Amino acid sequence: MVGILKKKRSPLVVFGTGLLLVMTASADNRVPWAEVTTALGATGELPSGRLGKRALFSLNDTGEALFEAQFTPLDGAGRPNATQAIIPTKSRRPREHALFRTSGPDATACVSCHNQPVVGGASDFVTNVFVSEGFNQADFDSIDPQFSNERGSNHLMGAGLIELLAREMSAELASIRSQALMDARDANTAVRRALTTKGVAFGYITVFADGLADLSEVDGVDPDLVVRPFSQKGVITSLRQFTINAMNHHHGMQAQERFGLAVTGSDDFDEDGYRNELTPADVSALVAWQATLEPPIQELPMDEAWVAAAQRGGQAIADYGCVECHRAALPLESLDFHDPGPLDLVGTLSVADVAEPAIYDLSLMYWSDTLPRNEDGHVMVPLFGDLKRHSMTDRKNNQLGNEQLSQRFVDRTRFMTAELWGVGSTSPYGHRNDYVSLIEVILAHGGDAKASRDAFAAVGKEAQLDVVAFLKTLKIEP
């Protein structure tokens, strides 16, 4: 899939009723005021090897330009004959309109939603999107809760660190499984091992001498033990996968590595007259920019009373048990972000698909020196999360179980722990962005969070406000 390294803006020749149409970037499209995105194709070849500061920053500039670009039909935006599905799927009929609020395309730019409080941030309820398996019935039905789930737009700040954490955790879980299998085969007996990585417990795996595995005790991660850190459900493996999914869903910009000739037999799968709308190099630019976004920070206000309350609130979330899931920080061994990464499967470029992946060294970023490190020199990523899925409902409190569909095999009551970093800048809250106050969303917790929620509910209003005071210090720097 790495085959096309340069963006091809070659003419697509369409023969029909004797008329020859040439859909291409003509000379008119090269004038500064033309309605095209000049950043498309600007990356040229797929990045590889360790990028120096200049190369990385240049790639980031292109990625940022793509993230902010309002894609136009001349870029290939729109997908008249394809759905938003992650598996290339033809629509049953040509779409009547270029934009659809429900099944998409529902935005002209990434930044249309990811903008609060900065580019790459989150958004308000108004930009909620609809996720479903998204196949050919979606033009009509996606707002019906039996066909789709509604999601708020998450922020992407610090996303590179999040993905690196997930990669290291996945590798450790796979290593535990491999070692257990070897031990079981050597000893000709069943072996049960705890699946714990970076202090987060994902249950147990039991393997047998014949190579079979009992995964019934695995908790909070998929059976393949891949920690998928993105989306409220924790079902997206990488920024690369997220980018490809989102570009098709929201803009109708189809990535060659998912929708191109090798997969669909067509280089214009959506039949909008534009081939190879996003090259692997374009996707890499978007990934690099997202991966190097500055992580949120804790910003203490000038108000001393607020500082005092925040300190009490910080202690309180530990006392209530909130930090069992909202871990203050997780250790990260390496800041080398390989792109493509190790965990994606065919359909999203992975390290197995290229001669040499690019390495985006996050330590080159100005913000990396501000990250705390532990005694082993590992970066302590202050995410306030555990990258694990939990049950969020119980019989008495089903507020967060307000959906009818599981998503990619994840039960409708289970969600990835929301990382709290940046929560002070990204109201509203919850997977549907339908809780405007922090106290509301805390009280909506159930299931695995019931004890903590009950502890929070049991204290007085003032103590609850202490927690709010703390959470509001977790900011995205404007």
Partner 1 sequence: MISPAQAWVTLSQIVVTIAFAIGVAATADTQNTTDTRGNAHSLVVPTLIEQGKASGIEHQYTGSWEFFVGGGGAAFDCNGDRLPDVFLAGGESPAALYKNTASTGGDLQFERVPLDLSDRESRSVTGAYALHLDNDRYIDLVVLRVGRNLLLKGDGDCGYSKANRRFAFDGGREWTTGFSAVWERESHFPTLAFGNYIDQSAPGSPWGTCHENVLLRASNSAKGVGRSSVDGDSSKPFEEPAYNNAIALAPGFCSLSVLFTDWNNSGEPALRITNDRQYYRGGEEQLWRIPAHEQPDLYDTSDGWKRLTIWGMGIAEADLNSDGYPEYALSSMGDNMLQQLDPEAEEDQPHYQDVAFDQGTTAHRPYEGDDSKPSTGWHTEFADFNNDARIDLFIAKGNVSSMPDFARVDPDNLLLQHPDGGFVEAGALAGINLPTKGRGALVADFNADGQLDLIVINREAPVSVFRNSGVAEHWGTRPLGNWLAIELQQPDQNRLAIGARVVVKTGNLSQTRTVSVGGGHSAGVSGFVHVGLGVAERASVRVRWPDGKWSHEYRVFANHHVVLQREVADAVYWYPDTVR
Contact residues for partner 1 (CB under 8 A)?
Answer: 1-4, 10, 13, 85-89, 133, 135-136, 177-178, 181-182, 185, 207, 210-216, 222-224, 258, 260-267, 345-347, 352-356, 408-409
Task: Pick between residue 222 and residue 272 the one whose CB is nearest to partner 1.
Answer: 222
Plot region of 338 (φ>0 → left; ψ -120 to 50 → alpha; else → beta):
beta
Min dist. Cβ of residue 321 to partner 1 (A) = 30
Q: How far is the CB of 244 from partner 1 (least distance, A)?
A: 10
Rounded to an integer, what distance in angstroms lies between the CA atom of residue 246 and that of residue 278? 12
Of 47, 132, 19, nearest to 356 by C-alpha is: 47
201: β partners: 196
- Least Å from the CB of residue 146 to partner 1: 17
> Closer CB to partner 1, residue 88 or residue 160?
88
Quote the DSSP letter at residue 208: -
- Spell out the residues 6+ positions from residue 144 whose beta carbon is closer than 8 angstroms to its own: none
Tokens of 168: 């290291």
CB of 468 to partner 1, least distance (A): 39
Which element (helix H / strand E) includes 308?
A: helix 304-319
* CB nearer to partner 1: pick between 43 and 397: 43
* Matching residue, tokens 């703390």: 470
Q: At what angle do helices 304-319 and 461-471 cross, to 10 degrees?
A: 100
In order, the DSSP letters of 36-57 are: S-TTTTTT-SPP-EE--HHHHH
Q: Which is nearer to partner 1, 152 or 260 (CB)?
A: 260
d(CA 158, CA 166): 13
Q: Which CB, 343 or 381, lies closer to partner 1?
A: 343
Decide whether 34 or 171 has the Cβ nearer to partner 1.
Answer: 171
Q: Is 459 left (phi over 0), alpha (psi -120 to 50) or beta?
A: beta
How far is the C-alpha of 323 from the C-alpha of 419, rounded, in Å? 11
Residue number with CB closer to partner 1 (207 or 288): 207
Least gap, CB of 44 to partner 1 (angstroms):
16
Name the token pair of 449: 């969070």
State which residue, 301 or 342, has the beta carbon closest to partner 1. Answer: 342
- CB nearer partner 1, residue 3 or residue 372: 3
Query: The sheet that has 336-339: what strands, in order across it?
Result: 49-50, 358-361, 336-339
Nearer to partner 1, 346 or 451 (CB): 346
Closest distance between partner 1 and the C-beta of residue 116, in Å? 30
Does residue 60 contact residue 42 with C-beta atoms inside 8 Å? no
Which residues neighbour 57 within 8 Å (Cβ) at sequence distance 6 or greater? none
In whole angstroms, how far apart are CA 439 and each of 2, 279, 304, 465?
48, 44, 22, 8
Q: H or E element: which one contains 204?
A: strand 200-207
Q: Which is nearer to partner 1, 122 or 215 (CB)?
A: 215
As measured in angstroms, the least distance from the Cβ of 319 to partner 1 is 38
Work out how close the CB of 18 gets to partner 1 at its nearest, in angstroms, rounded to a whole number: 17
C-alpha dist (Å) from residue 26 to 30, 35, 218, 275: 7, 12, 55, 15
Smallest distance, Å, CB 259 to partner 1? 9
Q: Is 387 in contact with 418 (CB distance < 8 Å)? A: no
Q: How far is the CB of 88 from partner 1 (least distance, A)?
A: 7
> Dihedral of the CA atoms 395, 401, 403, 408 (nearest 10)?
-110
Question: Cβ 134 to partner 1, closest distance in Å?
Answer: 9
